[in-house]
Amino acid sequence: MGTCCGCCGYSNDEHEEPLRIRTNPGPRLHRRCTDVPCCILFLAVLACTAVLVDYLGEKGDLRLIDHGRDHAGDLCGLGSQASRPYAFYPDLETDFKKDPTLRRHYGVCVDSCPKVGQSVPDSGTSARAASWLVLQPSFPVFQRCVPYQQPVDSGTTALCASPACSPPAAGVAPTAPQQVCGLARDGTDKFWLLEPPDASIQDGWRGGGADEALIQARTSMAATAASSGAAAGCAQRVKRQAEVSVLPLDEGLPNLLLASVTSPAYTFGNAVADNLGLVLGLGLGGALVLSVAIMLMFPLCAPPVLILLLLVVFFTLVAADYVLFVQAGIATGRTGERFTQFLASLDINVPPGAESLLTQAGDESSGQLCAIGGCCLAVAIALLACLLLSMARQFKILIALLKEAGNMIRVVPSLLALPIFLLASLAVFFGLFLVAFLGLATASQDEVQETKRVDDERTKAHWDLPPANR
């Protein structure tokens, strides 16, 4: 508040306001465009980009992007291969040995990407084989069948290790869940099943001489084990996991690439395709709505949000410092144990390694390092607290700026469309330059050389003219 001036009856605020207005008079009422040369340059860039895209689109063959070639050089899905639009690559191992960059690869045009076990016929004078047996599944990308690693067939079965399994006589159907045992070949014959067996256990029973009636009786009995009194008395439970995968005999680099690159991409693509509505609804629409809500509401709750974030940071640092002191033997760790018990009482899962963090390190050198680290971290926490206290004024300014930004967005909501417009313009230019790049990449070398020769002749003819006629 300003103080009153006794002689004239005016307050200091009344004198400061005109000075504040003269210092910061605000925006000009009559505005004009100040970047006309930049606008002209921008229009020139747009025109050059359009000419470049048109030229490269004319000289290039964009059909090479979404049509693969067979080993004879024909485009799949066009001309003589019109009925077979997909390119299948059956001999990538040989292709990789001849050219590690895989710029040249042996292809066969097919009507659809073949399945595992299918035989693909081949023909032509350059054919390497009369037919190809498909060993890897594939999925189409730009009309090309990209192979990926076949998913692992896995199965899990819960078993009880204590008390042990008590099997009946050979060939006799079980009368209790504790009589349905595992397999002797993997050491689970002393355990009994707590749930229906997977296919590998059933195959193991068949290999042991059990008929289908006995396998069905064991499966039915195991299905009732979870609700029986015997399962409630199980003192030790284990899990049996079996995995089966078909891999090529030669684990070369192409197969490693299939396992590490294309297989995760195929799995991710399938997951996105199966949940496309959810991804678009929550991923894009939800993110847009949430970002707008944050932009509008954050200025109103900026102080508590900032304070909460600072508290989270300090709590994390203090917890890490406490763990270091416990490891060093300076703190007992009882406080941490009580805190973990409190979290467990609230049905909050505590990480399995929390117990090891709340015990003293057995190695003396490790304890000394933890003590030094804990002391350094405690000093850093104190310095950070002092720094934040000294920046209290800056935080108030930041909060005031956020509030002004929120008020401006509420008054002029069209500001929210500016980032979307910028993103759309970036997407348009990216598409234009992508088309230009693809046109350049697919341009015929003969046409490019011919165009360069004609331009050179025109340039030479121009400079051969007399200066007055140029």
DSSP codes of every residue in 245-279: ----SS--HHHHHIIIIIHHHHHHHHHHHHTHHHI
Q: Convert the pLDDT of each residue in 320-345 to its tens digit.
A: 888 888 888 888 777 877 777 777 77
Q: Is 289 helix (H, G, I), strand (E, B) or coil?
A: helix
Whether the per-residue pLDDT at 369 is higher than 80: the answer is yes
- Separation of alpha carbons 350 and 358, rounded Å: 13
Residue 98 has pLDDT above 90, yes or no: no
Q: What per-residue confidence (pLDDT) applies to 69?
A: 86
Pairing of strands 236-244, 119-121: unpaired
What's the pLDDT band for 139 if we cut at 50, 70, 90? confident
Helix-strand-coil split of the chain, %, nearest 5: 55, 10, 35
Is the pLDDT assigned to residue 8 strictly greater than 50?
no
Query: How many Cα atoms sit within 13 Å of 346 on the Cβ side?
Result: 7
> What pLDDT is recorded for position 124?
83
pLDDT top residue among 403 and 200:
200
Residue 182 has pLDDT above 60, yes or no: yes
| Average pLDDT for 208-220 | 91
Three-state secondary-structure class, residue 98: helix
Convert the pLDDT of each residue in 349-365 to its tens digit.
Answer: 666 566 667 777 666 77
Position 291 pLDDT exceeds 80: no
Q: Residue 447 is encoded by which pair of tokens?
A: 């046409």
Mean pLDDT across the chain: 78
Over its C-alpha atoms, the chain yields an Rg (Å, rounded) of 37
Share of the chain above pLDDT 70, in %: 77
Rounded Cα gap, residues 294 and 302, in angstroms: 10
In this prediction, residues 43-62 reach a mean pLDDT of 78
> Residue 56: which of 427, 428, 429, 451 has the closest Cα?
451
- Eight-state DSSP code of residue 11: B
4: β partners? 11
Tell me which residue of 470, 130, 444, 264 sits closest to 120, measured CA to CA: 130
Two structure tokens written together for 346: 């609230």
Q: What are phi and psi of 57, to 5 degrees?
A: -65, -30
Question: DSSP labels for 447-459?
Answer: HHHHHHHHHHHHH
What is the tens place of the pLDDT at every residue in 397-411?
877 777 777 677 667
User: Up-side HSE of residue 345: CA atoms within 13 Å toward CB?
Assistant: 6
Give me the pLDDT at residue 392, please.
78
Average pLDDT (283-302) is 70
Q: Considering only residues 435 and 212, tell me which one the structure prediction assigns the higher pLDDT.
A: 212
